[in-house]
Structure 1
Amino acid sequence: MPIRLLTLIMLCFLLVSSPFVYAESSSGHNINADMAKSKARPTVSAENVNYHEDTGLYTLAGNVRIKLPERTFLTQTAKINPVSLLLWTDGGSEIIEGELHFTCDALYAELSGNTVWCFGTRCGVERPGLVIHGDNMQYNWNSHIVTFDGHVLCVQKGKSTTASHLEFDLDKNDIVR
């Protein structure tokens, strides 16, 4: 009997201390229900979710995860419009797309479109055999072209290239000339 009580107490503790909110804001709006109405249908989780009637935006904070079939966005704070699917993040952001791993300080993305703009001092993309970092970055996930500006360093299979502007074709695994 004491083991069952201990198990019940631990289960209750895990449910209460879960790091992810059940996607319902304090206003009664449900972010995942709103997202399901969109063309892209992302699923969203965060520790805190608030809907703002005046702007129509959700603010997300703490372990934010926005999952689409092709990619996942991870960050600490974000704002998202459930109608237009415009996303703004801050606090260190990541995008994971297959073996590609993008990082930046902040980003702006059109989730129903094809482009993400990344900002900060540490924008980059990595995958086995490739590391590119720059001051800002733009990624078009339809063309698989990533564009870097600022202080750019590209290391591919042990060979380094520096530039102030660099376009890289992820499909061809080569710098666009």
Structure 2
Amino acid sequence: MKAKILTMTLLVIVLFTATAMAAKPIIKADQQYLDINTGLYMLDGNVYIEVKNRIITAGQAKVSLASLEVWGTGGITVTQDDIYFTGDKVYVYGSSERATIEGNINFSRTNTTVTADRVDYSWRDKNAVFSGNVKVTQNDNTFTADSIKYNIETNTFF
């Protein structure tokens, strides 16, 4: 009986430690409040949201911690490692690890830049689909397209 109690106690300790070590988002803004009617955190001014090694900045944003969704506008940046997106507005589907950035898209990383009207990016498969007035510069090559898919891991367009 004592062995079962000791085992259960150790299991509970391990579970609580794992929960405490899980990545918690860092959310900062000049003004923020919880809208009790919608359950959304309303953020205004110098918005900074960090989850794991992904950072989103915006002028204004709404965040649902329950569904892991972010809606942001005004000077959007989305960064992770050497990946850097800018645009006018962003919608992040956190549970499926996808983001849609719209308006004046500018993507940059070492030796590669892309401008477009919209990008859909998946953190899971590391693919970005750029659409609308796409212009790509990679090393010394420049080309345009209506839509193009880019794999972040292999640094290739297809």
Q: Distance in 1 between matches of 2:48 and 2:68?
A: 14
Partner of 2:135: 153
Letter in 1 for 2:34: Y
Equivalences, count: 139
| Alignment-derived partner of residue 25 in structure 1 | none
The 3-state SS of whatever aligns with 1:112 is: helix
The one-letter amino acid paired with 1:133 is T
Distance 2:60 2:133 in 1: 26
- Show the counterpart of 1:97: 80
Quote the Cα distance in structure 2 between the aligned partners of 1:52 and 1:114. Answer: 24
Structure 1 residue 128, shift from structure 2 partner: 1.3
Residues 1:59 and 2:59 aligned together: no
Q: Is the 8 A contact 1:45 1:66 kept in 2?
A: yes
- Which of 139, 143, 149 is the aligned partner of 2:125? 143
Give the match's secondary structure for 1:171.
Answer: coil
CA contact (8 A) 1:61 1:78 kept: yes
In 2, distance between residues paired with 1:104 and 1:123? Answer: 5
> For each residue in 1:30-79, what CA deviation from the matched residue of structure 2 results, as whole angstroms up to 9, or x when unmatched?
xxxxxx99x75211011100111111111101111001112111111000
Contact 1:124 1:137 in 2 (8 A): no
* CA distance in structure 2 between the partners assigned to 1:70 and 1:144 by the alignment: 14
Q: Percent identity?
A: 27
Q: Deviations over 1:110-135 (max 9, x none)?
A: 22321000111x11210110001101
Structure with the bigger percentage of strand: 2
RMSD across aligned positions (CA): 1.6
TM-score (norm 1): 0.75
| Runs of 4+ with deviation above 4 angstroms | none
List alignment gaps of at least 5 residues for structure 1: 1-35
Query: 2:33 & 2:45 partners in 1: Cα distance?
Result: 12
In structure 2, the residue matched to 1:118 is: 101
Structure 2 stretches lacking a partner, 5+ long: 1-18
SS, match of residue 168 in structure 1: strand
Letter paired with 1:163: A
Aligned residue in 1 for 2:3 = none
Query: 2: CA distance between counterparts of 1:111 and 1:124?
Result: 21
Partners of 2:65 and 2:126 lie apart in 1 by 25
Structure 1 segment 20-31 matched on structure 2, within 5 A = none
The TM-score, its normalising length taken from structure 2, stands at 0.83
- Corresponding position: 1:78 with 2:61: yes
Contact 1:79 1:87 in 2 (8 A): yes
